[in-house]
Amino acid sequence: MRTTLDLDDALLEAARAVAAQSKRSLGAVISEWARRGLSPRGDGAGRRKGRIPTFDVPPDAAPLNPARIKELVDDEGLAR
Residue 12, domain extent: 1-39
Question: Does 65 map to a domain?
Answer: no
Instruction: Give the residue-averaged pLDDT of 9-36.
Output: 93
Contacting residues for 18 by C-beta, under 8 A, at least 6 apart: 24, 29, 58, 60
Question: Does 54 map to a domain?
Answer: no
Domains in the chain, number: 1
Question: Cα–Cα distance between 18 and 56 in angstroms, integer?
Answer: 15
pTM of the model as a whole:
0.50
Q: Check whether 23 has a pLDDT greater than 60.
A: yes
Question: Does 21 map to a domain?
Answer: yes
Question: Does 77 map to a domain?
Answer: no
Question: Does 2 map to a domain?
Answer: yes
Question: Cα–Cα distance between 61 and 8 in angstroms, integer?
Answer: 19
Q: For residue range 44-80, what is the model confidence (pLDDT) as tens digits?
A: 555 556 778 778 888 888 888 888 888 888 888 776 5
Task: Give yes or no for a contact between 70 and 76, defined as CB atoms under 8 angstroms apart.
Answer: no
